[in-house]
Structure formats: C-alpha cells, structure tokens
Amino acid sequence: MHIDLDAVAANWAALDQLSGPNTQTAAVIKADGYGLGAGRVARRLAENGVRRFFVAVAEEGIAVREALGPGPAICVFSGHMDGDTELLDQLAMTPMLNSIEQLTRHLEALPGHRFGVQLDTGMNRLGMEPAEWAAVSDLVLQANPDLIMSHLACADEPDHPQNAEQLAAFRRMTDGLNVRRSLSATGGILLGKDYHFDLTRPGVGLYGGEPFVNATPVIRLSLPVVQTRDLEPGETVGYSATFVADKPTRIATVSGGYADGLLRSQSGKGQLFAGDIACPIAGRVSMDLISVDVTHLNEVPDYLDIVCPAQGVDDVAGHAGTIGYEILTSLGARYDRTYVGGKA
C-alpha cells in the first residue's frame, strides 16, 4: 500500500482554500487516520501548519500526541467519558462535551482544563439538545469553552433540506455567543461559506474520498500475484464454485482478501487493474485471496491493483455496496504500508 502524504497535504490545502480566509481548517484523523496511519498523517499535516486535530476517542490521541509533541490541539469527539480523566489530563487533550453528565464530570475532575461542547442540531447522535443547552449554557460560557461544534447528517447531499435546518438550529443555539464555532466536515465545506463558521473539520476529503470529488488520489493498493492457472470450459473457481469458465480462461490468484478489508461483497462484481486494463474478480473473495480473470492480458504482471488511478476507493466501495469511508477504514494490518512525503 503506497500512501502519498503529500497528496493528503494537498487535499488539506485545497479544503483550507475552500474554507475561506477567516476560517481555521483542522484535520480529522480518527480511526488511525482513516486507516492510513494517524501519526504519519498528523505529522505531515503539522508541517503544513495544521494546529488542531480531532480523534473519536481519547485512546486514539495517544499515538497522535506521541507523533505531534506538545503543541497542537487534539480534540476528542466522544467527550469526557468515565475513566478518561487521566488520559485527557496527561496528554492535554480537549474533550468535546456531549451531555450535562460529561460537563459535570469534566468541570469537577479537571477544572480549568480546556474543553469544547458538542450540540445536537438534528442528527440525534452526539451532543446536547437545545433544551439541555439552554439549561447549562451560562455555566458553560463562564468556564470559557474553546469551541462549540455540531455535525451535519446530510452534508453529502447538498439539496437535502436538513442541511439548512441544522444550520438554522446551530445559529439559534449559538448566535451572539463569544465562542468559536464549527459545523462542517468535508461535505459541509462544500456547501459554502454559510456553513464554515470559525473552524472546519475535514476528514475523508483529506484521504481522497467523496464527497470531495476533486481530491488528489492518496493511496495505491497493489496485490501480488501468487499463482496463475489456465481453466478448461466448465471448470469453476473458488468457494461455492460461483464462477464457471465458459471458454478457456486464465485466472490469477492474488494475495489479499476480506481479512484485509477487501470486502466479500465485491465477489463477482469488483475488478482489479493491470495498469489501465480492468480484470474482473472471478467468483468469491476469500479470506486471504482473490481470483481474477486475466484471460485478456498478453502478460500477467507481478501485481494487480485494486486501488489505483483507474479505480479510487469510492469505485471499490460501489462494487462492494458501501461507501469509501468503510473501504478506507477496513484496510487491514497485513499490508506493507510505504509512505511518500513526510517524516517517519
């Protein structure tokens, strides 16, 4: 797996440009930097001047703090969970408090420690609801929060009415407060400046995924060919014999399978590439191996690509019946990850 950290930096710069001059652009590196390596990604982005990073849970911040050193802010979406106090304190991480329970825990356990607040504007996943916020906002504001944020449920669909509804709800809950605000991830950045506020939080767009369709590709995933064989008409391939050769057929067996995040739902639908020539997956994806129909190639190369310029993560996701986010974050531990750009 080749990971181009300079492309991640270029995508950040492009999203930063879209976010406008008065908006700070952070970076979301949860789930180990969407599977690409949170420490490496964070360090490369810090070279670009990124000063604020978001992780999902406090434990994810350990590798990020180690990679970044003491300066940059590391914010935690899940807030201040029971048992997190020591970690938040030692690593100087900023929890985004999601409930009155978390707020109480935080102000009691770590008075004076930096925090933000997450508000629920309609996604009904994380954050304080309008009535809760009304009850505690004075108390919160006295404690000097670093950021107030919310999250859009439908930002990847620009015409969805919930975008404007959530924007209005966010404004109702936060207009006139002297605190920095953040509403948008990748999709929200693309909705335009009304959605940008003081800080944006792109994730998937940094890694080359939709909805940032103009992203620079970040990963190439090449699978070594273990073996090649020729089939007579009528012979079958793989578990449950779902592929049946209807003519003399050459099959390449490549190393990589669903244990590596190459989802089994691509069976009989997905394809790999020899350069720019598509080669269909033949039969079932198995745990460690994929069979590929290479009958039409003059020569079978040493590697076939599953993520490459001809087929991005969202194309793979289309064959697998999922989204690029799930493909990225499923890419497993067995790959030899090599990085272009940035420092080890």
Ligand X SMILES: *Cc1c(COP(=O)(O)O)cnc(C)c1O
Please report, as ranges, the residues that interact with ligand X according to CB under 6 A.
28, 30, 77, 151, 185-187, 201-205
Based on the number of CB atoms within 10 Å of its own CB, is 144 exposed (0-12), middle (13-18) or buried (19 or more)? exposed
CB 250 within 8 A of CB 304: no
CB 188 within 8 A of CB 26: no
Whose CA is closest to 56, among 78, 89, 72?
Answer: 78
State the catalytic residue, choosing from 30, 207, 325, 339: 30
CB 282 within 8 A of CB 291: yes
Write down the least CB distance from residue 152 to ligand X, Å: 9
Write down the least CB distance from residue 231 to ligand X, Å: 42
Write down the least CB distance from residue 302 to ligand X, Å: 34
State the catalytic residue, choosing from 34, 239, 247, 335: 239
Pairwise CA distance, residues 257 & 334, whole Å: 10
Residue whose beta carbon is closest to ligand X: 203
Q: Which lies closer to ligand X via its Cβ, residue 39 or residue 188?
A: 188
For residue 3, what are its two tokens?
């990971």
Q: What is the largest CA-CA distance in the chain?
A: 77
Q: Which lies closer to ligand X via its Cβ, residue 212 or residue 273?
A: 212
Write down the least CB distance from residue 151 to ligand X, Å: 4
Q: Which lies closer to ligand X via its Cβ, residue 186 or residue 249?
A: 186
CB 204 within 8 A of CB 231: no
Pairwise CA distance, residues 309 & 54, whole Å: 29
Please confirm, yes or no, whether 30 is among the known catalytic residues.
Answer: yes
Write down the least CB distance from residue 305 to ligand X, Å: 24
Q: Does 125 carry a binding-site annotation?
A: yes
Q: Does 287 carry a binding-site annotation?
A: yes
* Cβ-proximal residues to 21 (8 Å cutoff; 6+ apart), any chain: none
CB atoms within 10 A of CB 87: 17
Pairwise CA distance, residues 218 & 208, whole Å: 6
Residue 278 bridge partners (DSSP): 273
The letter for the amino acid at 64 is V
Residues designated as active site: 30, 239
